[in-house]
Amino acid sequence: MLWLAALVLPVVGHYIWLCKQGGAAVKMTTTASLATAPRTVRTVLRHLPVVLRCVAIVLISVALARPQSSEQLSKTTVEGIDIVLALDVSGTMLAADFEPNRLEAAKDVAAKFIADRQGDRIGLVAFAGESYTQCPLTTDQASLQTLLSQVEFGVIDDGTAIGLGLATAVNRLRESEAKSKVIILLTDGVNNVGQVAPLSAAEIAAEYGIRVYTIGVGKRGYAPYPYQDAWGNVRYQQMKVEIDEQILTDIAAKTGGEYFRATNKNTLKEVYAKINTLEKSRIETDEYVRYNEHFVGYLLWALAVLVAEFLLRRLWLNTI
């Protein structure tokens, strides 16, 4: 119906044609005296009636198109999930078998995982030789993404305290009242420091009903690890990749989770995608849509414009 607005084109074309035709309605012996006649407001506005007619045509075509607005009312019940990401930030995470390194690849994939978890509370724990909470449980994704981007190597002592990192993550979920509590622990090494044994932390997690998904990152065999030479330049040397897969598997098994091995960034994305599928929030929605009609207003405006055109043409802008 909106194509009816194109009718203004023949209306305007016909009006221009009439203006160019001329032709006297009243014959006069001379028009010399009209040359000095003053131009008034009505002279300037003599085209206004045809403009109003075009506006009326457009308004009528819009009304016939039946404009509507909708109100969507929904009642949603969400089974919330609290998730803590425990991220290894030790020196070995700077290995370049991921692009640009393991740590940055892990942060990039975790950021996309967080973006997909609308409505869930997510926290962030970082660990190396020690562990700390980078972000407590929150639904503020913007703040969480900012804090994730600020995670870097060198903030705490180096080492790989898997048990301590897991214990800190468990502590963030200890008082959670969510029906589902999850920890995603990512590391590339072997537990070599810390006061808490990994399996002890796993037992505590199981007692609190927390599922732990463990991810071992690093290609199989050898990987390039960075080091500084005597002149301070960053060099790379091939070193054997050592991941305690048995401990990570046992942690996942004790808590009802699952262990994954990621050998490159693509497989790491697949791991997070699988976890995302396994831990989907259950949502029950009752949805109602109500439509409001708005064509009446356009018709009333069209009527008002047509009346204005008729009155102007017959009274104030009347012509012979």
**Residue 199 in tokens:** 């399996």
Output the pLDDT for position 23: 58
Q: Is residue 257 part of a domain?
A: yes
Q: What is the pLDDT of residues 232-244, one digit of tens each?
A: 888 999 999 999 9
**Residue 215 in tokens:** 């991810």
Q: Are 176 and 82 in contact (CB under 8 A)?
A: yes
Output the pLDDT for position 20: 77
Tell me, what amino acid is at 289?
A: V
Evaluate the omega torsion of the peptide bond into residue 100 and state whether it is cis, within 30 degrees of 0: yes
Output the pLDDT for position 73: 64
Dihedral sign for Cα atoms in the order 190, 192, 193, 196:
positive
Q: Count of domains in the chain?
A: 1
CA angle 28, 309, 58 (to 5 degrees): 125
Burial class (CB in 10 A: 0-12, 13-18, 19+), 251: buried
Which of 12-21, 48-57, 184-193 is predicted least confidently? 12-21
Output the pLDDT for position 188: 95
Q: Is residue 97 part of a domain?
A: yes
Q: Are 130 and 195 in contact (CB under 8 A)?
A: no
Per the model's pLDDT, the better-predicted residue between 14 and 193 turns out to be: 193
DSSP 3-state assignment of 149?
Answer: helix
Domain that holds residue 175: 80-220+234-280
Q: Is residue 29 part of a domain?
A: no
Output the pLDDT for position 25: 65
The CA distances from residue 63 to 1, 69, 209, 310, in Å, are 9, 13, 60, 21
Instruction: Sort strands 121-127 and 131-138 into parallel, antiparallel or unpaired.
Output: antiparallel
Output the pLDDT for position 275: 92
On the question of pLDDT at 74 being above 70, the answer is no
Q: Is residue 320 part of a domain?
A: no
Q: What is the pLDDT of residues 76-86, one digit of tens each?
A: 555 678 999 99
Q: Is residue 251 part of a domain?
A: yes
Q: Give dist(CA 58, CA 4) in Å, integer.
A: 8
Q: Give dist(CA 82, CA 61) in Å, integer.
A: 53
Query: Span 306-320, mean pLDDT?
Result: 82
The DSSP call for residue 208 is T
Mean pLDDT of the residues in the chain:
89
CA angle 183, 226, 165 (to 5 degrees): 20
Helices 48-64 and 8-21, interaxial angle, to 10°? 160
DSSP 3-state assignment of 230?
Answer: coil
Q: Give dist(CA 249, CA 271) in Å, integer.
A: 15
Query: Span 159-186, mean pLDDT?
Result: 95
The CA distances from residue 175 to 27, 137, 181, 209, in Å, are 99, 11, 10, 11
CATH number of residue 211's parent domain: 3.40.50.410
Output the pLDDT for position 24: 58
Q: Is residue 160 part of a domain?
A: yes
User: Phi-psi bin for 303: left (phi > 0), alpha (psi -120 to 50), beta?
Assistant: alpha
Burial class (CB in 10 A: 0-12, 13-18, 19+), 258: middle
The CA distances from residue 318 to 35, 42, 48, 303, 309, in Å, are 21, 10, 12, 20, 11
The CA distances from residue 141 to 119, 122, 160, 274, 276, in Å, are 9, 8, 28, 21, 16
Q: Is residue 37 part of a domain?
A: no
Q: Is residue 74 part of a domain?
A: no
